[in-house]
Structure 1
Amino acid sequence: MRNNTEGPVVVGVSAHFHDSAVAVLVGGELVGAAHEERFTRVKQDPDIPREALRHTLREAGLTLADVDCVAYYEDPVKKLDRQLWMGLPQVPDSRPDALFRLDADRPFRDIREALGFDGRVEIVDHHLSHAASAYYFSGFADSAVLTVDAVGEWATTTWGRGDGDHLELIGETRFPHSLGLLYSTITGHLGFEVNEGEYKVMGLAPYGEPRFADRVRKLIDVTADGTFELDLAYFDFRNPQGMGTEKLTELLGVPPRVPESEIEQIHCDLARSLQLVTEETLLALAARAKRLVPSDNLCMAGGVALNVVATRRVVEEGPFKNVFVQPAAGDAGGSLGAAAVAHQRITGRRIAARRMRSALLGPATPADEVARTLKGAGARDFLDFRDREGDLLAAVADRLAAGKVIGWYHGRMEFGPRALGSRSILADPRGADMRDRINASVKMREAFRPFAPAVLAEKAGEHFRLDHPSPFMLETCEVTSPLDLPAITHVDRSARVQTVTEEDNGRFYRLIRAFEERTDCPIVLNTSFNLRGEPIVRTPEDALLCFLRSSIDCLVLEDFVIDRAALPTAWRIWFEGTRPPRTSAVSDSVYTLL
């Protein structure tokens, strides 16, 4: 049980749309946060986060009885107003339960009944949750705030002002005018999954030329003062078959691509054109933020803030000296912001005014528990390095230097969409065929998709055009290394860099340093520990199954190392080459506006 002098325990909840999550604050300190999908194994699970709450409280040494307030990340009444304004939509066959989302009482019922909480509940508007997730975790004493996503209740873009303990939204663009929905519409047109494939479009863009940019600009009118409107003749956000009209296809001159079909140059060119217009628009929105709030600082959140190429342009070309992007900028991060707003309402003070330094906020698994899991699964030929970290790091660094692909599981799980050295797949970035190998036989995904480098922070400037920390992989930069790094260098010579410090990353930092001692390369390839269509692994069992279903060469579970050659023969026969069924809570063709 907690000490009551520590201040209120506030739980933030995002749920009932996609990517549900919880965050826990104790006395204004963030002690834990987790995605529900990591527990249920349903990608982007929208349901009330029962399991995430239970495990996050337990990790913090708390129970539900210790919680003073639950904060919900959007206003369900305002959201229902927008849903009814749209009219009853056609419901996709894949989501027959979707109409149950038209229920403004559901969040309260689920908090009371599913979570079992009968105390104070605070409702925080969706974009205020986004804004608070950025400002209150930035460490800035004052800041302009910009949030951009598909849609919340009504707002799709907001401008805000943070000043000391206080945060207010001072302007907005409302649905159906949405930069996020523009990007998602063309994502679907290109044959990728909406609300998941946007990352693919961003990765595909450097392979193309922006020859359709003028046509894409006809879809969105960005005014001189930094506001915008969509030309709604090209969009139908109620159509479950796709959000673009026939007129959109006529304008673009590019027919909709069939999912999983061949990607042609015309698709690359459309992706590049969309990306360019998105960057231009985000720069205009940031310029408006500066005019409204003449601070040196900008805080950003919302799903569009995860467009790392556009974010980089805001950092380099925008009018602000300092930019902070919430590492969990999407809806899951709304749980952080809702909790922070509730804390301010309860106490009259902001949460601890420090920069968020780590996203390692989920549960951990003690080494002894991992040992029991391995023995219980029948594994015998694993290497035990308990109390011998130096030997462990030497063994793993040797394997990396020999070209092995490593599944790396250590410490607390990441919060947000990026693997940051806790639940990661690692490899040597110098291998000429490493990117193709991992895409094809480990991640089972499209060959054009790039991988990120994790670099010792003190060496970052020697290899990348980067003059500030980038601990969360939130922006791209140019690769300038004297080393040949084909596995992490995109076709436009960019990379999405993670800078790694010993203070914040501990063992992961020391592993990269051990790799550098063997290779003179202070960089490793780092990608999320999961197969295509699955959430990032959470437990040792998840990691073991992913290892068995992929072509990862070696699995490191805390202090234990398992080489593929040491797997029991029966395991290899049963699991190698098999795939779990794809389980997702999100429609592939439309952004689920219910």
Structure 2
Amino acid sequence: MIIVGISAYYHDSAVALIRDGEIIAAAQEERFTRKKHDAAFPHQALSYCLQEAHIDATQIDHVAFYDKPFLKFERLLETYLAFAPKGFSSFRLALPVWLREKLFLKSLLAKELKKFSSSVVWEDKLLFGEHHQSHAASAFYPSPFEEAAVLTLDGVGEWATSSVAIGRGKSLEIFKEIHFPHSLGLLYSAFTYHLGFKVNSGEYKVMGLAPYGEPRFVDTILKHLIDVKEDGSFSLDMHYFDYCAGLTMTNQAFSRLFDLAPRTAEQALQQVHMDMAASLQAVTEIVVLKLAAAIAAETGMKNLCLAGGVALNCVANGKLFKQGSFERIWVQPAAGDAGGALGAALAAYHGYLGHERAACTSYDRMHGSYLGPAFAQASIEQALRDAGAQFSVLEEADLIDQCAQDMAQGRALGWFQGRMEFGPRALGGRSILGDARSPSMQSTLNLKVKFRESFRPFAPAVLREDVQDWFEYDADSPYMLMVAEVHQDKRITVPESEKALFGIDKLKVARSQIPAVTHVDYSARIQTVTADTNPRYHQLISRFKSLTGCPVIVNTSFNVRGEPIVNTPEEAFKCFMGTDIERLAIGNCYLKKEEQDPKLRISYENAFELD
């Protein structure tokens, strides 16, 4: 049985395809259109998934959409009535789109699907799941657990902003929800907006900025903005927010509370911005930890699954792991709305159609989240020749040895291997790699390769068998969704004179033997790498370890600021030629920057807006 899941029309459109319950392919539309967070119907992602499954559209049994538009429209109407006449301007802008498209989504989806096959009666194949049901399904069904509690936290779906479910076998039942406008995700987005970053894309920047600040506004937030109960349930004081009725996330009352106007995107970050980020992150952790403790006590479950945009907050996840309320935690790597496509398909197969789950024979059922396109060696070589690239073709052992030596010598390496990742993180399929021991690698990658803010941290990729020797963590973290501290014996004592530094100045101080991946609070967003999931990537890090004694490298996504992660060999070569990446490995093709035609260099630095 073939089921296709689709998320679209809001942000991060995506498609997932499952066959008899097994995940065959999944991809975000942005990777094909090159429009970051593309919300349009995912034509190209669907074409890819059909191609990967070796089927045509007539063989699809069901198409599952990730939320219910009528319930969303009900929320829009009720919210307007609750705030009328204040919300008329935002309501007036939203209503035409709903009446033209979103309210009649079934016919709109059928119209788009007819472009794949006009002979299919698509209306008869369409299924609609609730937003948080899709999130919960994306978390539980691919997990390795036979039973688990499932916590979903995001901005808002139809009405729900948070939900708790119990999964057992093929059964998944939501039994608690928090409803709009009370939302931990929207609280985080409100601060994201006020701090000058883009809502629905810049929240992770706020998380990365937090360690530079002091959480001096925690009491202010808890007293005025969010009322948190002992069980983690919460409500927001809407007096300070404008997202229900206005066109912005926060209002003048919010600005007065912090004595701070909203920051513009290019305005310099000040200490107060860092302190607000630190305070918000602390409050987020309070809510998540209280929720988890209460869920564990109430359900008696030993396992927890997480999804929804807030589940991408790897700092909170790391605190949750240390708290120990659950023995095991599994986070959906595509925890945001893109993952809703996968959840919708799985909910249809197991929940609606009642099919049993197959036994889990590996770490989980996600295939390492390597669910996107791969390219044959011959097609890679042809693409590079067509682009005018100069390259050599190496045997695998020679390629791995050369790339490991490049990193050991301080070079930035573009690494394009196998299938593209599903979700926001590059996991060794479409990555830029470097030496974690280099004190200059973090700023070099940020400023000369990614063209982004210097404060942004990078993740360490570490051999799973060595993780406990380098970090205060001894578990799997294949999806870069857990933060832990660098091991005590790998840290460097910070001189007294430099402890007094504030804000971004802290970045200049080396804090460990792997400074390129050590944040200012000694934390790191860990990716553990195993030979069974990504053997070539594991071999590369193993060879680097044999050369240097260090099993840790820098891993960041293969793209520049504002651009989606590269998908094709052509895009990888273009990014290579537009940045200071010095070496590139695509399949078995190996490229040196100095051997390329200088005329092929492009200027990426101002090609994309702030993301």
1:325 equivalent in alignment to 2:331: yes
Tell me the amino acid that sits aligned with residue 508 of structure 1.
Y
Aligned counterpart for 2:132 among listed residues 127, 133, 142: 127
Q: Equivalent residue for 1:570?
A: 599
Quote the offset at 1:558 in angstroms: 1.0
Q: Equivalent residue for 1:511?
A: 540
Q: Is the 8 A contact 2:5 2:64 kept in 1?
A: yes
Higher mean C-alpha displacement, 79-88 vs 238-247? 238-247
Q: Equivalent residue for 1:45?
A: 38
Quote the offset at 1:548 in angstroms: 1.5
1:497 equivalent in alignment to 2:526: yes
Q: Relative to structure 1, is the Cα distance of residues 106 and 284 closer, same or farther in structure 2, using a 3 angstrom cutoff?
A: same
Aligned counterpart for 1:336 among listed residues 339, 342, 348: 342
Quote the offset at 1:292 in angstroms: 3.6
Q: What CA distance in whole angstroms lies between the structure 2 residues aligned with 1:577 and 1:293?
A: 51
Q: TM-score, normalised by structure 2?
A: 0.90
Quote the offset at 1:488 in angstroms: 0.4
Quote the offset at 1:105 in angstroms: 4.3
Secondary structure in 2 matching 1:524: strand
Q: Equivalent residue for 2:379?
A: 369
Q: Relative to structure 1, is the Cα distance of residues 562 and 305 closer, same or farther in structure 2, using a 3 angstrom cutoff?
A: same
Q: Relative to structure 1, is the Cα distance of residues 261 and 450 closer, same or farther in structure 2, using a 3 angstrom cutoff?
A: same
Structure 1 segment 389-408 matched on structure 2, within 5 A: 389-408=396-415
Quote the offset at 1:58 in angstroms: 0.4
The superposition leaves residues 344-376 of structure 1 with CA deviations (integer Å, 9 ceiling, x where unpaired) of 245412443422351000010111001111111
Structure 1 segment 5-84 matched on structure 2, within 5 A: 8-84=1-77
Tell me the amino acid that sits aligned with residue 406 of structure 2.
R
Quote the offset at 1:101 in angstroms: 4.1
Q: What CA distance in whole angstroms lies between the structure 2 residues aligned with 1:41 and 1:222?
A: 40
Tell me the amino acid that sits aligned with residue 383 of structure 1.
S
Q: Equivalent residue for 2:232?
A: 226
Q: Count matched residues.
A: 570
Q: What CA distance in whole angstroms lies between the structure 1 residues aligned with 2:260 and 2:94?
A: 34
Q: Equivalent residue for 2:481?
A: 474
Q: Is the 8 A contact 2:61 2:125 kept in 1?
A: yes
Q: Is the 8 A contact 1:90 1:238 kept in 2?
A: no
Secondary structure in 1 matching 2:590: strand
Q: Is the 8 A contact 2:140 2:305 kept in 1?
A: yes
Quote the offset at 1:550 in angstroms: 1.1
The superposition leaves residues 395-418 of structure 1 with CA deviations (integer Å, 9 ceiling, x where unpaired) of 111111111101110100000110
Quote the offset at 1:546 in angstroms: 1.1
Tell me the amino acid that sits aligned with residue 393 of structure 2.
D
Q: Relative to structure 1, is the Cα distance of residues 240 and 196 closer, same or farther in structure 2, using a 3 angstrom cutoff?
A: farther
Q: What CA distance in whole angstroms lies between the structure 1 residues aligned with 2:317 and 2:234?
A: 18
Q: What CA distance in whole angstroms lies between the structure 1 residues aligned with 2:481 and 2:72?
A: 29
Aligned counterpart for 2:559 among listed residues 530, 553, 571: 530
The superposition leaves residues 532-584 of structure 1 with CA deviations (integer Å, 9 ceiling, x where unpaired) of 01100001111111111111111211111111101112113xx1455434498
Q: Is the 8 A contact 2:181 2:244 kept in 1?
A: no
Tell me the amino acid that sits aligned with residue 530 of structure 2.
T
Tell me the amino acid that sits aligned with residue 382 of structure 1.
F
Structure 1 segment 437-448 matched on structure 2, within 5 A: 437-448=444-455
Q: Relative to structure 1, is the Cα distance of residues 327 and 546 closer, same or farther in structure 2, using a 3 angstrom cutoff?
A: same
Structure 1 segment 443-458 matched on structure 2, within 5 A: 443-458=450-465
Q: What CA distance in whole angstroms lies between the structure 2 residues aligned with 1:92 and 1:484?
A: 54
Secondary structure in 2 matching 1:236: coil
Q: Relative contact order: is structure 1 or structure 2 higher (C-alpha 8 Å, sep ≥ 6)?
A: 1
Q: TM-score, normalised by structure 1?
A: 0.93
Q: Is the 8 A contact 1:549 1:579 kept in 2?
A: no
Secondary structure in 1 matching 2:481: coil
Q: What CA distance in whole angstroms lies between the structure 2 residues aligned with 1:232 and 1:242?
A: 13
Quote the offset at 1:500 in angstroms: 0.4
Q: What CA distance in whole angstroms lies between the structure 1 residues aligned with 2:247 and 2:73?
A: 22
Q: What CA RMSD, in Å, does the superposition of the two structures yield over aligned residues?
A: 1.9
Aligned counterpart for 1:461 among listed residues 452, 462, 468: 468
Q: Relative to structure 1, is the Cα distance of residues 187 and 461 closer, same or farther in structure 2, using a 3 angstrom cutoff?
A: same
Q: Relative to structure 1, is the Cα distance of residues 32 and 43 closer, same or farther in structure 2, using a 3 angstrom cutoff?
A: same
Quote the offset at 1:47 in angstroms: 1.0
Tell me the amino acid that sits aligned with residue 135 of structure 1.
F
Q: What CA distance in whole angstroms lies between the structure 2 residues aligned with 1:299 and 1:175?
A: 22
Tell me the amino acid that sits aligned with residue 72 of structure 1.
F
Higher mean C-alpha displacement, 84-93 vs 126-135? 84-93
Structure 1 segment 251-262 matched on structure 2, within 5 A: 251-262=257-268
Tell me the amino acid that sits aligned with residue 569 of structure 2.
P
Quote the offset at 1:99 in angstroms: 4.1
Q: Equivalent residue for 1:425?
A: 432
Q: Relative to structure 1, is the Cα distance of residues 154 and 229 closer, same or farther in structure 2, using a 3 angstrom cutoff?
A: same
Q: Is the 8 A contact 1:20 1:36 kept in 2?
A: yes
Q: What CA distance in whole angstroms lies between the structure 1 residues aligned with 2:594 and 2:239?
A: 59
Q: Relative to structure 1, is the Cα distance of residues 211 and 434 closer, same or farther in structure 2, using a 3 angstrom cutoff?
A: same
Q: Is the 8 A contact 2:483 2:526 kept in 1?
A: yes
Q: What CA distance in whole angstroms lies between the structure 1 residues aligned with 2:421 and 2:317?
A: 21
Q: What CA distance in whole angstroms lies between the structure 1 residues aligned with 2:525 and 2:326?
A: 21
Q: What CA distance in whole angstroms lies between the structure 1 residues aligned with 2:413 and 2:246?
A: 40
Report the identity percentage. Answer: 46
Higher mean C-alpha displacement, 286-295 vs 182-191? 286-295
Higher mean C-alpha displacement, 412-421 vs 133-142? 133-142
Q: Is the 8 A contact 2:451 2:605 kept in 1?
A: no
Quote the offset at 1:222 in angstroms: 1.1
Q: Is the 8 A contact 1:10 1:70 kept in 2?
A: yes
Secondary structure in 2 matching 1:421: coil
Q: What CA distance in whole angstroms lies between the structure 2 residues aligned with 1:85 and 1:286?
A: 31
Higher mean C-alpha displacement, 249-258 vs 33-42? 249-258
Q: Is the 8 A contact 1:13 1:73 kept in 2?
A: yes
Q: Equivalent residue for 1:541?
A: 570
Q: What CA distance in whole angstroms lies between the structure 1 residues aligned with 2:137 and 2:316?
A: 21
Q: What CA distance in whole angstroms lies between the structure 2 residues aligned with 1:578 and 1:14?
A: 32
Q: What CA distance in whole angstroms lies between the structure 2 residues aligned with 1:472 and 1:577?
A: 28
Which protein is richer in helix relative to its size?
2
Quote the offset at 1:254 in angstroms: 2.6
Q: Is the 8 A contact 2:73 2:103 kept in 1?
A: no
Structure 1 segment 278-289 matched on structure 2, within 5 A: 278-289=284-295
Q: What CA distance in whole angstroms lies between the structure 2 residues aligned with 1:105 and 1:264?
A: 43
Tell me the amino acid that sits aligned with residue 167 of structure 1.
L
Q: Equivalent residue for 1:384?
A: 393
The superposition leaves residues 189-210 of structure 1 with CA deviations (integer Å, 9 ceiling, x where unpaired) of 1111111111111001001111
Q: Equivalent residue for 1:5?
A: none
The superposition leaves residues 91-118 of structure 1 with CA deviations (integer Å, 9 ceiling, x where unpaired) of 699xx89842454444323331212262
Q: Is the 8 A contact 2:577 2:600 kept in 1?
A: yes
Q: Is the 8 A contact 1:91 1:99 kept in 2?
A: no
